[in-house]
Amino acid sequence: MKRTLGIGLAVVLLVGVVTAIVLGQGGEPARLQTVRGVIGSEKLAFFADQRVKDVFAKHGLVVETDPAGSRQIATATDLDSYDFAFPSSAPAAEKIQRDRKAARTYAPFSSPMVVATFDPIADLLTKAGVVKPGPGYQTFDVQAYLELAAKGTRWDQLPGNTSYPARKNLLVTTTDPRDSNSAAMYLAITSFVANGGVVSSADAEARVLPAVSKLFLDQGYTQSSTEGPFEDYLSAGMGKTPLVLAYEAQFVDRVVRGDSSIRPDMKLLYPAPTVLSKHTLVPLRPNGDRVGELLQGDAELGKLAATFGFRTSDPQHFATVVKEKNLTVPQTIVDVVEPPAHETLERMLEAIAKQY
């Protein structure tokens, strides 16, 4: 009897040892594969979140990331030490895929470009014909805005303006087009409207550049990261930034987190047309493919991405998050245009940069 008990105890101990070796401390796999990626900085908080790390660990992966600008990832980053590249725009991913001869890409997240503003400013621009009602949200008529900007219209020149009689040009605040992906997306929107379609030729570039360049140059100093002007919008109010270009995800993320800097008079306007910032992963090695597949197909990761304000491949994740927070945003963005090809966009950005 004692011998039987001894054997049984030994078996239990052996199973415990094997389990500890397989699972490691905390029940996680002991031998996780490390996967390295370079990502657009907008996704840094997502990958740093412990819940996201835990999901990857369940699939045997530790995902380490370095942030960089999307244009920098496509043109200036040494990608040899990475398993995947994950810029925040489709044109940048297109160039990486072509240069690295990647077989496929993954686009698990997207975020439309929006104009963040305040109720008094939206009311003023409604009277000026720039802001128009939509189904539960308001749109920002880019054509009407370009016509005002082309005339050098100041805020204090708007008829009946008593709420914001500022003696400065009516301009959307953006980031620096020499550095930032969001500025490149703004150029994609405004050049499309100025050209009457996607810019795809040297003649079209030459035709639209004088008008779209002024939208950046007339702002004066601009910051290199999208977080900069958005933080000004949150902290300094409409006195400094009455209109700021942002990613929808930035605003939604703050609301989901219950950030007190989002006040009741703040609102989003959806440019008509707008572009989607398509966060597109380019696998450079097999483990990069695994990360892309999980981001695109794993429901847990999709739900977590939605809590950071991203629209995911399953639209229900985002819809659930905004419903819980009583956020009025369009379920589907209809008036969306494609940005120019990477080379065209880069040429226009470089032409604007030379004018600074």
* Per-chain mean pLDDT for the chain: 90
Token pair belonging to 21: 């070796």
CATH number at residue 208: 3.40.190.10
Is 208 among the domain residues? Answer: yes
Residue in this structure with the two tokens 């065209």, named with its chain if needed: 344
Task: Give CA–CA dist 138/290, Å, rounded.
Answer: 39
For residue 40, the cross-strand partners are 68
Dump strand ranges (E) for 176-264.
244-247
126 shares a domain with 68: no
Segments forming the whole domain that contains residue 166 = 112-276+333-353
Residue 7: the pLDDT is 42
Over the stretch 83-94, which tens digit does the pLDDT of each residue have? Answer: 999 999 999 999
Is 309 among the domain residues? Answer: yes
Residue 8: the pLDDT is 46
181 shares a domain with 39: no
Q: For 319-328, which contacts have Cβ atoms below 8 Å and span 24 or more sequence positions?
A: 321/252, 321/256, 322/252, 325/255, 325/256, 327/252, 327/255, 328/136, 328/137
**Parallel/antiparallel/unpaired status of strands 276-283 and 106-118:** antiparallel
Q: What is the pTM for the complete model shown? A: 0.86
Specify the higher pLDDT residue, 7 or 265: 265
164 shares a domain with 63: no
Statement: residue 332 has pLDDT above 70:
yes
271 shares a domain with 165: yes
Over the stretch 170-215, which tens digit does the pLDDT of each residue have? Answer: 999 999 888 788 999 999 999 999 999 999 999 999 999 999 999 9
Residue 27: the pLDDT is 53
Task: Give CA–CA dist 264/243, Å, rounded.
Answer: 16
Q: Which of 245, 242, 234, 236 is nearest to 270 (CA)?
A: 245
Average confidence (pLDDT) over 50-68? 97
Over the stretch 254-297, which tens digit does the pLDDT of each residue have? Answer: 999 899 999 999 999 999 999 999 999 999 999 999 999 999 99
Statement: residue 105 has pLDDT above 60:
yes
Q: How confident is the model at residue 30 (pLDDT cuts 50, 70, 90)?
A: low
290 shares a domain with 203: no
153 shares a domain with 116: yes
Is 76 among the domain residues? Answer: yes
Statement: residue 97 has pLDDT above 80:
yes
Over the stretch 286-310, which tens digit does the pLDDT of each residue have? Answer: 999 999 999 999 999 999 999 999 9
State what percent of residues in the chain have pLDDT above 90.
78
Q: How confident is the model at residue 136 (pLDDT cuts 50, 70, 90)?
A: confident
34 CB contacts (<8 Å, ≥6 apart)? 61, 62, 64
User: First and final CA of the chain: distance in angstroms?
Assistant: 89
Is 257 among the domain residues? Answer: yes
Phi, psi of 127 (to 5 degrees): -65, -30
Task: Give CA–CA dist 94/172, Å, rounded.
Answer: 28
The DSSP symbol for 340 reads P
Q: What total number of domains does the chain contain?
A: 2
Is 186 among the domain residues? Answer: yes
Task: Give CA–CA dist 181/77, Å, rounded.
Answer: 15
Q: Could you check whether the bond before residue 108 is cis, i.e. omega within 30 degrees of 0?
A: no
225 shares a domain with 93: no
Token pair belonging to 70: 């999307």
Contact call for residues 66 and 39 (beta carbons, < 8 A): yes
217 shares a domain with 119: yes
Is 185 among the domain residues? Answer: yes
207 shares a domain with 267: yes
Over the stretch 214-263, which tens digit does the pLDDT of each residue have? Answer: 999 999 888 888 888 999 999 999 999 999 999 999 999 999 989 999 99
Residue in this structure with the two tokens 């239990």, named with its chain if needed: 12
* 4 burial level (CB within 10 Å; 0-12, 13-18, 19+): exposed
Q: Which of 173, 175, 215, 226 is nearest to 193 (CA)?
A: 215
Neighbours of 23 (CB within 10 A): 12
Q: How confident is the model at residue 70 (pLDDT cuts 50, 70, 90)?
A: confident
125 shares a domain with 197: yes
Residue 253's alpha-carbon distances to 107, 185, 244, 269, 319, in angstroms, are 19, 20, 17, 16, 13
Is 18 among the domain residues? Answer: no
Residue 178: the pLDDT is 84
Token pair belonging to 93: 């991913």
268 shares a domain with 246: yes
Is 1 among the domain residues? Answer: no
Statement: residue 28 has pLDDT above 60:
no
236 shares a domain with 222: yes
